[in-house]
């Protein structure tokens, strides 16, 4: 079940070393494997030994644009084993298998009361670190989990669920939030543009609401993978005109909603065109600030809405945990490449340059030397 190549380690008896390996971001497009100190923990905190950390598009964006100061250790889709507990921690003990969120809102401020949690100042503080400016830290061997994350953002992994499956809780949460934002009604048709791992998760979650889901991608390989998750209304954008095909499937009207699960701005206009008057378009991967071309009359005259959703919602935390841990969706199957931590630079490079056959890329600190990249 996808753990081939991992070195077997007894998770309950383990001494924490003083140094560890980590993929350190040193500036724009510059990530190096380095030896760094194992982070120290304080009162109410946990030290988690990383087993699996998913590579996320937002990590790649930060690395490729150099938008953040260096040095940092990224990686926030982290699952692992509690290696040490700080004073005062009662809910966790050494050896517990956990996944950790890296952002948790305060619950008190203006933005929290308005349920726009991602804009909360506390939420913007990163609560997991492997050293330097806190940035997730999952691309390393050990992560320090700060007290507010231990209280509200650390989730136990059931025995029968793998670390790989569990590392999808955060991305699933962000996808659930996006689907919620679209307010799909039963029987509506939604077009999901882009069938990378996030596009597939969004599509499955949309279908779960009762919507008719149409998926499109330039890589037929991805549509084939999507079909194994029940996404059978596919449009091969390398051979077909997506707009025409969507209209054909919707009595000429266009989809009720469209989700853009591909970065860049060139597909915003086509996504709006593929949507019926009064429809909604969700921008899910447009994380780089800039300008884009839209037809303003599509918003004014055709009454189409442009919506956005970013990051996770604490209100959907339980549902996303349930969805992942119950294995309602076999998310592990979205992983195409597993890299040991020693090859993390290569892992980030592959994830930044997706190939037709590459889907989710994960880094497995649990396997330092072995590992496979099927």
Residues forming the site for Zn ion (CB under 5 A): 56, 105-106, 109, 112, 120
DSSP single-letter state for residue 108 = S
What minimum distance in Å lies between the beta carbon of 57 and Zn ion? 7
What minimum distance in Å lies between the beta carbon of 8 and Zn ion? 28
What minimum distance in Å lies between the beta carbon of 299 and Zn ion? 29
Asked if 217 and 199 count as a contact pair (C-beta separation under 8 A), the reply is yes
Query: Closest CB to Zn ion among 122 and 227?
Result: 122
Query: Closest CB to Zn ion among 68 and 247?
Result: 68
Query: Closest CB to Zn ion among 229 and 284?
Result: 284
What minimum distance in Å lies between the beta carbon of 83 and Zn ion? 23
What minimum distance in Å lies between the beta carbon of 315 and Zn ion? 13
| Distance, CA of 152 to CA of 154 (rounded, Å) | 6
What minimum distance in Å lies between the beta carbon of 225 and Zn ion? 20
What minimum distance in Å lies between the beta carbon of 187 and Zn ion? 31
Query: Closest CB to Zn ion among 188 and 332?
Result: 332
Nearest to 50 by CA among 139, 168, 159: 139
Strand partners for 127: none
| Strand order across the beta sheet in which 212-217 lies | 234-236, 212-217, 189-193, 255-260, 275-283, 305-308
Going from the C-alpha of 229 to that of each of 175, 182, 232, 233, 336, the distances in angstroms are: 16, 21, 8, 11, 15
Tokens of 71: 């040095």
Query: Closest CB to Zn ion among 56 and 274?
Result: 56
| DSSP reduced 3-state for 107 | coil
What is the full DSSP assignment across 169-194? HHHHHHHHHHHHHHTPPTT-EEEEE-
Backbone phi and psi for residue 119, each to the nearest 5 degrees, phi listed first: -95, -5
Query: Closest CB to Zn ion among 120 and 200?
Result: 120
Query: Closest CB to Zn ion among 143 and 211?
Result: 143
């Amino acid at each position: 079940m996808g753990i081939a190549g991992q070195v077997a380690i007894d998770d309950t008896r383990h001494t924490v070393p003083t140094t560890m390996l980590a993929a350190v971001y040193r500036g724009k497009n510059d990530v190096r494997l380095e030896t760094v100190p194992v982070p120290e923990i304080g009162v109410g905190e946990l030290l988690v030994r990383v087993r699996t950390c998913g590579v996320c598009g937002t990590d790649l964006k930060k690395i490729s644009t150099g938008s953040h100061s260096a040095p940092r250790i990224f990686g926030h889709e982290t699952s692992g084993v509690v290696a040490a507990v700080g004073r005062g921690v009662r809910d966790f003990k050494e050896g517990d298998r956990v996944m950790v969120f890296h952002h948790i809102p305060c619950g008190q401020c203006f933005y929290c009361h308005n349920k726009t949690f991602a804009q909360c100042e506390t939420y913007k503080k990163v609560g997991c670190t492997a050293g330097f400016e806190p940035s997730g830290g999952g691309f390393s061997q050990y992560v320090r989990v700060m007290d507010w994350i231990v209280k509200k953002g650390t989730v136990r992994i059931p025995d029968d669920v793998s670390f790989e499956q569990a590392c999808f809780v955060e991305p699933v949460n962000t996808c659930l939030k996006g689907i919620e934002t679209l307010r799909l009604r039963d029987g509506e048709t939604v077009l999901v543009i882009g069938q990378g791992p996030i596009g597939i998760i969004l599509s499955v979650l949309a279908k779960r609401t009762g919507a008719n889901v149409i998926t499109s991608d330039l890589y037929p390989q991805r549509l084939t993978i999507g079909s194994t998750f029940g996404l059978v209304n596919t449009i091969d954008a390398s051979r077909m005109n997506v707009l025409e095909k969507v209209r054909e499937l919707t009595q000429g009207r266009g989809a009720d909603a469209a989700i853009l699960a591909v970065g860049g701005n060139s597909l915003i206009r086509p996504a709006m065109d593929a949507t019926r008057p009064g429809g909604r378009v969700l921008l899910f991967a447009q994380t780089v600030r800039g300008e884009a071309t839209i037809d303003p009359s599509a918003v004014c005259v055709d009454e189409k809405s442009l919506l956005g959703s970013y990051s996770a919602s604490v209100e959907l935390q339980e549902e996303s945990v349930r969805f992942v841990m119950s294995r309602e969706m076999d998310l592990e199957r979205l992983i195409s490449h597993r890299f040991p931590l020693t090859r993390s630079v290569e892992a980030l490079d592959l994830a930044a340059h997706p190939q037709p056959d590459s889907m989710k890329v994960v880094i497995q600190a649990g396997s330092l030397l072995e590992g496979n990249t099927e």
